[in-house]
Chain A
């Protein structure tokens, strides 16, 4: 079920009413309702893959107990942990990466002169959200292993934690210490939390339906026909993709966080205005935060983090980015995208600037950013945007051809929308979006934090109006990150 579907519009109020009016007094029943609702939500896409979620849930529930029981016997605890990792990564590996690795081996042998037939590849459907919920369940086992969490004995609560529908298919990837503790505690309806949730949902829908969906046909057209366009159009295409991707994914996260608030549960922020970052390190503190944190806690730190030699630290950075790239999809383009980011990150790391902007935002104590900040933000945005050529292209060759076309056909030509809409509408839309995000840059969880109720009302009305103005019934409305 998609957030931006009519089915969800019907589904959400039903679950909400049952949650707060029927099962309000009994936490266990509330959690069972969350499980049923989550399974309906997921099963709407393909009910067969519910068994995978159930398998992952039972496995990690059981292994969590085992790890905790053997917490003083490091060897045995590690054995149970590796079992959890083995099964979860195994599921992910089979459904997401099996064909990729088989094809890659075949291509590798072909390059060496050995021709192999592709008899090993299978017709596998990628279960939606598998990368998200397997990582979430693994975090539970890791946290118990690292003695940061006690396993729950309440299976219903654990199942609700794994399958919690607002964040099941595309995150934020929650740590058990945050989400599970809320699921095991009685929730109370809070007016402010509910209105904050509704506001975040509205803002998320704006980002998804107006920004991402309206830019999608332009980006698709430019990337599909890059060979026929001059540099100006190709640069435009990848810049617009930056906003499409951000609108799509952060929009999803906002809807997820907002929906969750409606049920009295606080999810962690996943985006913090990443395009206002002043260097790549800050970008990664603001972009897909839950995944970055996951890799930081469960891969980077266990590898040694930045505690060893410079060389070892750099190795760890490269590993994190390559794995993060591969996490996104079974395609070398994503690995390359990760590699590009690691190359951009290492100089910042070597200059010790990776922690420079940890707790501040652009124009922290002033109305306008300084010239230096503007230049920094522009450079970071351009670097990130450049990397998206690899992220968006279907193959590495295509990505390099795209770049080559920019350099060889370096000229300006006005671009016409494939459906004949005025392009200026989109430029104005993006400009307003950037300005608005700048205004609200200090609090990603309160996009309408204005004291004047008339101003707030006008913003709500304009957002809904713009959804109508940019609505396109021909657009594929699924979320980009669903494929990951």
Chain B
């Protein structure tokens, strides 16, 4: 019995080593460049990092990132001047674009469609509208020189707060020892990515998978949901108003990129009434014969980014004409 236990321990250890080596060799793990909050309270990536973001068990999506001197994933440095035509796209992971090679981003596609333009992608996973407005305000000198600002707004997720507060806790957590261990032991990083530890997490949290939820009668539930949504829409609109009041909103060069099918009528009406430009990509996505999003998650695939780039460039070209 002793022999069995000892041999099993040795085998488990050696196999773990083998797997760790294989994961490193085939770069099956994903990299997450470190984050920080700069002196102006803007959350971004530590400049100068390059690496690969990987999706799926078997490198189904494998893309290179490059964090520029400004702390964002981009193929170019941001040097706005009065002479050039610059476009800033501000947004979350959709704009940060770790699911694509940094040299084939939405910004690059826009540059290809609008000659002599420079596109600056201020994308960061987890940014909401408060982050975006704070960033524009914090880098006011740069943004004053930029000719067009496009803010990507994911209505459902991006208007949950009306005041900006830098998330120091998240940065602290990501630089804590458990996270450092996770990042350095690739078998852990890989296992977490593919969800192998989920049963353990569920067991610890006491959650049962596929636990049936008690749902009220359909009609009654629909009425409750509708009422709740109305209250929520009002709240989201108030947050939006609060943020544009605090930071200002230059309507002459700022527009909101959004999917109108996922945005409330109330919000769209408010924008329309207040002459806030909207770049709506809903119809272009709907008309697309192939899926504009990745299969593994909801981010835009290459075709989706083509559509977004075309939608934005058409809007800007029309505006310049």
* Contacting residues of chain B (1-34) with chain A, CB-CB under 8 angstroms: 1, 3-4, 7-8, 11, 14-15, 18-19, 22, 28
Per-residue contact bits, chain A 169-209, to B (CB 8 Å; 1 contact, 0 not): 00000000000000000000101001100100000000000
A470 to B196, CA, bound (A): 11
Contacts of A191 in B (CB 8 A): 1, 3-4
Contacts of B190 in A (CB 8 A): 468
Task: List 5 A-B pairs, Cβ < 8 Å.
Answer: A461-B18, A465-B18, A465-B22, A471-B194, A473-B198
Interface of B is mostly: helix
Instruction: Select one of B1, B14, B15, B56 contacting A189, CB under 8 A.
Output: B1
Instruction: Select one of B57, B198, B200 contacting A470, CB under 8 A.
Output: B57
Contacts of B7 in A (CB 8 A): 195
Contacts of A189 in B (CB 8 A): 1
Are B195's CB and A473's CB within 8 A? yes
| Chain B min CB distance to A468 (Å) | 7
Instruction: Select one of A5, A421, A460, A472 contacting B11, CB under 8 A.
Output: A460
Per-residue contact bits, chain B 42-71, to A (CB 8 Å; 1 contact, 0 not): 000000000000001110100000000000
Q: Please tell me if A295 contacts chain B, counting CB pairs below 8 Å.
A: no
Contacts of B60 in A (CB 8 A): 420-422
A5-B199, A468-B190 in contact; A420/B296 too (CB < 8 A)? yes
* Contacting residues of chain B (171-213) with chain A, CB-CB under 8 angstroms: 190-191, 194-196, 198-200, 203
Q: Please tell me if A469 contacts chain B, counting CB pairs below 8 Å.
A: yes
A189 to B295, CA, bound (A): 50
Q: Please tell me if A311 contacts chain B, counting CB pairs below 8 Å.
A: no
How many A residues touch B, CB cutoff 8 Å?
Answer: 25
The 10 closest A-B pairs by CB, nearest first: A420-B295, A473-B195, A461-B18, A6-B199, A461-B15, A469-B57, A469-B58, A194-B4, A471-B194, A473-B198
| Chain B min CB distance to A466 (Å) | 10
A57 to B199, CA, bound (A): 34
Are A421's CB and B56's CB within 8 A? yes
Instruction: Select one of B19, B57, B200 contacting A464, CB under 8 A.
Output: B19
Q: Count A-B contacts at CB 8 Å.
A: 60
How many B residues touch the partner, as a band? 20 to 34
Are A468's CB and B196's CB within 8 A? yes
> Of all chain A residues, which has the CB nearest B195?
A473
Q: Please tell me if A419 contacts chain B, counting CB pairs below 8 Å.
A: yes
| Chain A min CB distance to B8 (Å) | 7
Are A465's CB and B19's CB within 8 A? yes
Contacts of A470 in B (CB 8 A): 57-58
Q: Please tell me if A457 contacts chain B, counting CB pairs below 8 Å.
A: yes
* Contacting residues of chain B (286-304) with chain A, CB-CB under 8 angstroms: 294-296
Instruction: Select one of B8, B14, B58, B194 contacting A457, CB under 8 A.
Output: B14
A334 to B216, CA, bound (A): 38
> Of all chain A residues, which has the CB nearest B58?
A469
Q: Please tell me if A62 contacts chain B, counting CB pairs below 8 Å.
A: no
A283 to B4, CA, bound (A): 36
Q: Taking each of B3, B8, B19, B200, which has the highest tally of chain A beta carbons within 10 Å of its own beta carbon?
A: B19
Are A464's CB and B194's CB within 8 A? no
Contacts of A461 in B (CB 8 A): 14-15, 18-19
Q: Please tell me if A425 contacts chain B, counting CB pairs below 8 Å.
A: yes
A460-B11, A473-B194, A473-B198 in contact; A419/B19 too (CB < 8 A)? no
> Of all chain B residues, which has the CB nearest A4?
B199
> Of all chain A residues, which has the CB nearest B294?
A420
A7 to B296, CA, bound (A): 28
Are A460's CB and B4's CB within 8 A? no
| Chain A min CB distance to B195 (Å) | 4
Per-residue contact bits, chain A 457-484, to B (CB 8 Å; 1 contact, 0 not): 1001100110011111100000000000
